[in-house]
Amino acid sequence: MKMELIQPFINAADAVLAQGLQCPMSIGNLSMEEEAYRRKGIAALIWITGDIEGRVILDLDPQTAVRVASKFAEAELPETDELVRETVFELANQVIGNAITVLNDQGFHFRVHPPVLHTSEHGPKSSEDTEALVICFETGIGDVFMNIALRYSHSLRTEQAAAVGQ
Amino acid sequence: MEQFVPVKRSKDGQPVRYLVVDDSVFARKNLARMIETFGGQLCGEAGDGMTAITEYDRTNPDIVLMDITMPQMEGIEAAEKIVQKHPEARVVMVSSVGYQENIVAALQRGARHFVQKPVKPEVLYEVIKYVMGDDGTVASAAGAGD
């Protein structure tokens, strides 16, 4: 896992959550995911293609998702409210948008696909060249998990290998 | 949410009217709440670029807050089409994707300003005042609560 690819996502999640939730936050457990991803609750999955490819999942257990959405809405929302899912999607969009802004300004180009609801209990397994990193953000109103599996695209890796070989 | 000194239209002292375009209901609600704190009035909403164009024609807003990544027609293309038809249109792009190329493309195609998500109300408020220019007036602090 290339930390230079991951760090912008961690920084973006930290900034987006801290600003939106207005509560103390810290980065808790950080682990490599070798087995298939196990969903915690309401999970937004965003695919990224281009110079860097892979996917990012933002995942909140249902109770935390309700608390987070209620905080943003400044009103108590029921778990069934569509706005709860919408909030998780928009947070994922903002985290990824902010991260790719940084990476784009470093010269990487991508396409970010609209978020989709990750409904299966288990996600795709990591592979040798795409390990997944799971970061837990401990907020005052619950844990927010971000699962990142990214790699340089095949064409970019070929270019890099050619440059090293010269 | 913090209250701001209302920004009104200079010509008639009425609230500034906003069209909010974003495919996320959450984002639209969030912007609508900010508009309220600016003393503005939400006159229309759209979830994609195509609808934004028809909503602009229908509502004739003072300001359009436009997301970029949306289904059917993206925000930059919608902004361009609106400005082509209504050169006086004030379109402010509001997106989480704030890299240089995107900002330049939006400005070249008619947008007046760019605000990155997550939106800070105080930043958007300053942008609104700037974009309204002489067509907007900030009510005096003494009269703000009237």
B93-118 tens-digit pLDDT? 999 988 888 899 999 999 999 999 99
Indicate whether B140 pLDDT > 50.
Answer: yes
What is the pLDDT at residue A96? Answer: 94
Provide CB contacts within 8 A for B113, sequence distance 6+: B92, B93, B127, B130, B131
Query: What percent of chain A has a predicted confidence (pLDDT) above 70?
Result: 83
Which of A74, A90, A100 minimises the CB distance to B24?
A: A90
CA distance A50 to chain B (A): 15
**How many C-beta atoms lie closer than 10 Å to residue A158's C-beta?**
11
Q: Is residue A115 very low, low, confident or very high in pLDDT (cuts 50, 70, 90)?
A: confident
Higher-pLDDT residue of A165 and A112 is A112
Q: How far apart are CA B121 and CA B5, in angstroms?
A: 12
Residue in A16, A69, A93 nearest the CB of B24: A93
Contact A19/B120, CB-based, under 8 Å? yes
Whether residue B136 is predicted with pLDDT greater than 70 in this model: the reply is: yes
Q: What is the pLDDT of residue B118?
A: 93
Between A131 and B85, name the one with better pLDDT: B85
Give the nearest chain B residue to A111 (CA atoms).
B69
Name chain A contacts of B96, Cβ cutoff 8 Å.
Answer: 93-98, 101
Q: Does residue B83 surpass a pLDDT of 90?
A: yes
**Confidence band, pLDDT 50/70/90 cuts, at residue A33:** confident
Amino acid present at A16: V
Distance (Å) of CA B96 to CA A12, A34, A37, A159, B69: 10, 31, 26, 30, 9
pLDDT, position B92: 98
B63 and B38 Cβ atoms separated by less than 8 Å: no
CB–CB of B118 and A19 under 8 A?
A: yes
Q: What pLDDT score was predicted for residue B135? A: 97
**ipTM exceeding 0.95, yes/no:** no
**Minimum CA–CA partner of A102 in chain B:** B99
For residue A55, pLDDT beyond 80: yes
The mean-pLDDT minimum among A71-75, A125-129, A157-161, B45-49 falls in: A125-129
Bridge partners of residue A148, in order along the sequence: A56, A133
Query: What pLDDT sits at residue A165?
Result: 64
State residue A166's pLDDT score.
Answer: 61
Tell me the whole-structure pTM to 2 decimals: 0.86
Q: What pLDDT, on a 0 to 100 scale, did the predictor assign at position B146?
A: 44
Q: Which residues contact A7 (CB under 8 A, 6 or more apart)?
A: none
% of residues, chain A, pLDDT over 90: 46
Q: A13 and A136 in contact (C-beta within 8 Å)?
A: no
How do residues B30-79 score in pLDDT, each as one tens digit? 999 999 999 999 999 999 999 999 999 999 999 999 999 888 888 999 99
Residue B4 to residue B16: CA distance in whole angstroms: 13
Average pLDDT over chain A, rounded to an integer: 85
When pLDDT is averaged across residues A59-78 and rounded to a whole number, the result is 92
Q: How confident is the model at residue B142 (pLDDT cuts 50, 70, 90)?
A: very low
> For residue B96, what is the nearest residue in chain A, using CA coordinates?
A97
Task: Flag whether pLDDT at B144 surpasses 50.
Answer: no
At B143 the pLDDT is 46
Q: Inform me whether the pLDDT recorded for B82 exceeds 80.
A: yes
Residue A161 has pLDDT above 70, yes or no: no
pLDDT band per the 50, 70, 90 thresholds, residue B145: very low
CB contact at 8 A, B9 and B131: no
